[in-house]
Amino acid sequence: MNSLYYIKQTALREWYRMLHHPVYLWSIILPPLFCIIIFTSLMNAGLPTKLPAGAVDEDDSPMSRHILHTLDAFEYTHVIAHYPTFSEARKAVQRGEIYGFYYLPKGTERQVLTGRQPTTSFYINYSYLVAASLLYEDMRTISELANGTIKETQLYAHGALPWETIPRLQPIVINTHPLGNPWLNYSVYLNNTILPGVLMLMIFLITIYSIGSEVKEKTANNWLQGANNHILPALIGKLLPQTALFTLMAWGCMVWLYCWLKFPCQCGISTMLFTSVLMVVAAQGFGIFLYSLFPWMRFAMSVASLWGVISFSISGFTFPTMAMNPSLQALGYLFPLRHYYLIYVNNALNGYDISYAALPYICLLIFTLLPLPMMKRFHNAVTQYKYIE
């Protein structure tokens, strides 16, 4: 009973503290809000379309013009310029004006007509990987289609009937089924993990900051006395208002993603709302853990920021973990965002039963409870350590 009273007292104290330290409230609200707005509006289109490409048409024949017109009509490609020579097109690529170009050498059409198999080529700048992959798809398709058109004409000339030609041109067809994200929407693919990642990063930092600033401002004793020097109620009471605010931010983010933007959420939003509460407390637990480990606010915050930023890469939602060095695959377990990502994929994206995500849930729980065995050290850290300038 007493504990509850202490928690309430400390929570109230913390609430007033937050109102008097604007940097707190701002850091809880503004960075996540800014990231939600910027990332979802930046990738609002889902997939980049009309990427600028060029053409070097040395042939300038009806056939080459037809190929380029068709390419321009494709979804991802926008042929913005024709260049007289190869090297001018290459320079345009280097200036960043186009991501790639299609090259048709002189005599392409004549060689096709005389059966001498000309070679066309496309050059794509893979320094911009996303744009390059999309252009590659279009340019490869147009090259196949150009072949198909010629073969179709030949088949007709041999007396094939319309329904006979298609199976001969393309005997094996690949039907693709991208599960859960059939639009290949980049916003769905990235923002579902980036935004919680930003939130977690801020939670690490604020948790450490709020504890460290008590030491810095020499109010730590006052804080602990509010809970009659019981460290656990004092800590829970202190972090509770932040938990509430961060949970609100996380829920706002989930509602924005799954209700407003209609991102796939096959498990229903309540599961994700529950998961985000767990995510918030796991991140707070990790923050306390770092502070207990390194009881200097500045150092703990530095470690937390490096940890938080690296988690975007190591959690494997952009570059898969399976392609990383095995040591990094193991290291990934130490990042709460990795577990959140696995839970999101299992629940929201794929709609599998929650039991398949048991391990990541347990890991998040472990992060939440991580500070418990370190309470004694933590107590010492806030009562005995001094703020080092």
75 within 8 A of 88, measured Cβ to Cβ: no
Q: How many CB atoms lie within 10 A of CB 256?
A: 16
Q: Which of 170, 219, 221, 222 binds another protein (CB under 8 A)?
A: 170
Q: Does 43 bind another protein (CB under 8 A)?
A: yes
238 within 8 A of 210, measured Cβ to Cβ: yes
Q: Does 389 bind another protein (CB under 8 A)?
A: yes
Shortest distance (Å) from residue 52 CB to another protein: 6
Residue 247 or 313 having the CB closest to another protein: 313
Closest among 312, 196, 288, 287 to 249, alpha carbons compared: 196
Give CA–CA dist 373/293, Å, rounded: 12
| Interior/surface letters 300-314, b for 16+ CB within 10 angstroms, e for the rest | bbebbeebbeebbeb
Amino acid at 103: Y
Q: Which of 54, 226, 295, 308 binds another protein (CB under 8 A)?
A: 308
Tokens of 91: 């320079």
DSSP 170: -
Give CA–CA dist 379/229, Å, rounded: 9
Residues 319 to 348 in contact with another protein, rule: CB under 8 A: 319-320, 322-325, 328, 341-342, 345-346
Q: Which of 34, 110, 362, 377 binds another protein (CB under 8 A)?
A: 34
Q: Which of 20, 159, 172, 260 binds another protein (CB under 8 A)?
A: 172
Q: Which of 85, 222, 228, 353 binds another protein (CB under 8 A)?
A: 353
Tokens of 114: 């005389």
- Cα-based angle 117, 121, 125 (whole degrees, multiple of 5): 170
373 within 8 A of 290, measured Cβ to Cβ: no
Are β-strands 51-57 and 77-82 bridged in parallel, bridged antiparallel, or unpaired? parallel
Shortest distance (Å) from residue 38 CB to another protein: 5
Residue 16 or 34 having the CB closest to another protein: 34
Residue 1 or 323 having the CB closest to another protein: 323
Q: Does 349 bind another protein (CB under 8 A)?
A: yes
Q: Does 52 bind another protein (CB under 8 A)?
A: yes
Q: Does 164 bind another protein (CB under 8 A)?
A: yes
Q: Does 96 bind another protein (CB under 8 A)?
A: yes
Q: Which of 251, 294, 333, 356 binds another protein (CB under 8 A)?
A: 356
Q: Does 352 bind another protein (CB under 8 A)?
A: yes
Residue 109 or 368 having the CB closest to another protein: 109
- Cα-based angle 83, 86, 87 (whole degrees, multiple of 5): 100
Q: How many whole angstroms from its chain centre is CA 85?
A: 39
Residue 7 or 288 having the CB closest to another protein: 288
Shortest distance (Å) from residue 100 CB to another protein: 7
Q: Does 94 bind another protein (CB under 8 A)?
A: yes
Question: DSSP states of 254-281 as a string?
Answer: HIIIIIIS----TT-HHHHHHHHHHHHH
Residues 225 to 264 in contact with another protein, rule: CB under 8 A: none
Indicate the SS3 state at residue 294. Answer: coil
Residue 60 or 164 having the CB closest to another protein: 164
Indicate the SS3 state at residue 359. Answer: helix
Residue 159 or 320 having the CB closest to another protein: 320
Binding mask 116-155 for another protein (x = CB under 8 A): xxxxxxxxxxxxxxxxxx--x--xx--xx-xx--xx--x-
Shortest distance (Å) from residue 342 CB to another protein: 8
Q: Which of 277, 313, 365, 385 binds another protein (CB under 8 A)?
A: 313
Q: Does 273 bind another protein (CB under 8 A)?
A: no
Alpha-carbon distances, residue 388 vs 55, 156, 216, 286, 289 (angstroms): 62, 85, 8, 22, 20
Q: Does 108 bind another protein (CB under 8 A)?
A: yes
Residues 201 to 220 in contact with another protein, rule: CB under 8 A: 201-202, 205-206, 209, 212-213, 216
Residue 55 or 194 having the CB closest to another protein: 194
